[in-house]
Amino acid sequence: MSKIISKKFVSELLTSTDFKKWLLKRRWFSNKSELSNIDFDLLMTELQILNENFVLIVFKISRREYQKNYFVPLVFCVDLKDVLEQNEMNENLLKELEKEAYNGKIKVIEAEYFRRFWRYLFSISYENEDVDKLIELKLFDNEKNGSFSLLKERIINLIEARMNLRKPIFNLKQLGKGNTTNLVFLLSFIQQNNDKIMDKKIVLKSYKHYQKNIETEKLNILRIHNFKNVPELIGVFRSPSSDVINIMEYIESDGNIGQVLWDELNQLVKDVFSIHNNVLISRTNINQPKDLLEDYCSLSMQLLTLLGSCVKELHENLVLESDNNFCSENITPIDFISDFSSKLDFNLSITKKRLKDFLKTNPEMASSIDMYLEKIPHSTSKLYNKVSNMKKIKLQPIHQDLHMEQTIYRRIGENYSIYFLDFEGDPQLTYQEKIKKQIAEKDFASLLRSLSYIKYNSLAGFVQYTTNKLKKLYIRENILFSHFFLQEHEISISEEVITLLNFWETSLKTIVYKSVNVSPVLLDLASLERILSELNYELLYRPKNVLVPLLGLKEWISINS
């Protein structure tokens, strides 16, 4: 096998039509619609062959004005069993890997799925210093000055005692399988030494976009400030151009806040409404929605009360005045309006461009999106007038992509702690765009938009339940679109259900507002920016989900018209 893997062999494989098709199916390989029909060039720029199976690759994707670099560790093998360790072979894992792999004469799949890859990567990083490496392992020292050092003592203690002393129980589990730009794994091991059991868990986050890594920088700033509500950054695998893999503390949690909100709201709707003899029945105390929320959504309300103040503390600790990239600054309202309006025009142009393809298969929905896009300039001009009366506007580093699934919680006794994850920023932005300072309201707008997503997805689930009970076959998104945008629709949605869901959203928003000090007008503008970002994202990656941000845009226009 080692004789097969060569620079020429890998380069020819990567540029083949079949491999490009495989790439387009990878969840971390973004901008799929812009690169459809494999109409792009792929150029391998760096290659390191680790052994007969594992390679590290950097390649460039380009098409007309589009260009992006990727870091991709890959496995090359004839049979996946050749790279699995003996005690991890099972039929379910093999089936999953076979399904994910590129299946040609040689099988190809991301190397991060394999324990042997991580063993080898940690081993070569500090034992073979004479090896010419694409990446090196660097660990944060115990000081708070942000410097790095090769701490062999810490790696010995942390990474299963050099991975060779008294072979430990060693497990690898993938975390998070949604649409993303990275692969995340939990590495855990148990080792017994002198009647002492060492149980360690770390998170390994492999970034696919090969560009300067803002998450490393943000976590380091928070570490300097001793901010405890984020995973500790232990170290990185660093290349000359990028931190390609972060090693982070694993935080035990009871789940993410989004799941709590989702579960409690769905249980509320399920218990309050039911269908008997094709008639929707609601409980008598629906006229007392506050009591219903206290009965069904007590944990949601408790966590959101804590969340607002935690985000405020996060923002305070992301500022380091001695660092040009992380200091705060004040700008005039005129400068803010100028910058915001130009970004808005750019986002609108992207949305309209992506609507052209969407129009072909969804003409009615696309025309509705276009109609509301045309109303935005009038609404924003009214908000700009309010902004112009402000004395100054503060800009600072923020999370940038803060939603409810990025916040996890842990209960200890009667108290809760909240932790923030994923500081990569908006995956659609370049590093230069991510490092730009923002208004704090942008993070709060993202959080509050999460409530809208949960609300409308809960409504869609209830619509599906209703149509199933009525034994009618309808697409729930079509029913929602008909109800909110068209004059006529066959399946009506109870206004009682919509009223209760709106009350839920408004009540939880109010809880967040109480614990923070935000500008309502800046929050309105940040909400619009977030809605357009969601709309562009859904049009690009998940066209079936475009209804939720469209409904958000409709609401925003009605409030600000």
Residue 180's pLDDT is 73
| Calpha distance 10→106 (Å, rounded) | 11
Question: Under a CB-based contact definition with an 8 Å cutoff, are residues 390 and 235 in contact?
Answer: no
Q: Look at residue 161 in the predicted model and tell me its pLDDT.
A: 44
298-317 vs 214-224: helix axis angle to the nearest 10?
Answer: 90
| pLDDT on residue 151 | 37
Torsion of CA 169, 174, 176, 181, to 10 degrees: 130
CA dist 207 and 250 (Å) reads 17
**pLDDT, tens digit, 9 for 90 and up, residues 224-257:** 899 999 998 888 898 888 899 999 889 999 999 9
Cβ neighbourhood burial of 227 (10 Å; 0-12, 13-18, 19+): middle
Predicted local confidence at residue 266, as pLDDT: 93
Q: What angle do CA 63, 66, 69 make, to 5 degrees?
A: 95
- If you count DSSP H runs as helices and E runs as strands, how many of each does the chain have, helices first? 17, 19
Are 392 and 332 contacting, i.e. CB atoms less than 8 angstroms apart? yes
| CA nearest to 38, candidates 17, 61, 69 | 17
The separation between the first and the last C-alpha atoms of the chain, rounded to the nearest angstrom, is: 66
Find all residues with CB under 8 Å of 287, minimum gap 6, and list them. Answer: none
Q: Dihedrals φ, ψ of 241, to 5°? A: -110, -15
Residue written as tokens 């700033």?
221
SS3 60: strand
Full pLDDT tens readout for the chain, 561 residues: 556 678 888 999 999 999 999 998 888 886 656 666 778 889 999 998 888 899 999 999 988 778 889 999 999 999 898 888 877 778 888 888 999 999 888 899 999 999 889 888 877 665 555 556 788 888 776 544 444 443 334 444 555 444 444 455 678 888 876 667 889 999 887 665 555 555 678 899 999 989 888 999 999 899 889 999 999 888 889 888 889 999 988 999 999 999 999 999 999 998 888 776 666 677 767 778 898 899 999 999 999 999 999 999 999 999 999 999 899 999 999 999 999 999 999 989 888 888 877 777 778 778 888 888 899 999 999 999 999 999 999 999 999 989 898 899 999 988 999 999 999 887 777 888 888 999 999 999 999 999 999 999 999 888 888 777 666 666 777 788 888 887 666 667 788 889 999 999 999 999 988 878 889 999 999 999 999 989 888 887 777 788 889 999 999 999 998
Q: Give me the pLDDT at residue 148, please.
A: 41
Residue 411 confidence (pLDDT) = 93
- In this structure, the dihedral spanned by the alpha carbons of residues 153, 156, 157 and 158, taken in order and rounded to 10 degrees, is 120
Half-sphere CA count of 153, side-chain side, radius 13 A: 3
Nearest-angstrom CA–CA distance, 259 and 450:
11
> CB-based contacts of 146: which residues, under 8 Å, 6+ apart?
140, 220, 223, 224
Q: Are 292 and 268 in contact (CB under 8 A)?
A: yes
CA gyration radius, the chain: 25
Cα-based distances in Å from 88 to 92, 109, 174: 10, 17, 14
Give dist(CA 352, CA 370) in Å, integer.
7
- H-helix or E-strand spanning residue 255: strand 255-256
- 3-class SS at 236? strand
**Which tokens hold the place of 190?**
């148990």
Give the burial class of 286: count Cβ atoms within 10 A of its Cβ; 0-12 exposed, 13-18 middle, 19 or more buried. middle
Which of 379, 367, 371 has the alpha carbon at shortest distance from 559?
A: 379
Residues 197/155, Cβ–Cβ less than 8 Å: no
The encoded tokens of residue 451 equal: 């409530």
CA angle (520, 525, 527) in 5-degree steps: 90
Let me know the angle formed at the C-alpha of 201 by 199 and 411, rounded to the nearest 5 degrees: 95
**What number of other Cβ atoms are within 10 A of residue 59's Cβ?**
21
Nearest to residue 254, comparing CAs of 26, 419, 89, 397? Answer: 419
> pLDDT tens, 78-131?
989 888 887 777 888 888 899 999 988 889 999 999 988 988 887 766 555 555
pLDDT score of 156:
44
- CA–CA dist 542, 293 (Å, integer): 32
Residues pairing with 61 in the sheet: 42, 68
Whole-model pTM: value is 0.86
CA-CA-CA-CA torsion sign (515, 521, 522, 528): positive
Whole-number pLDDT of residue 256? 94
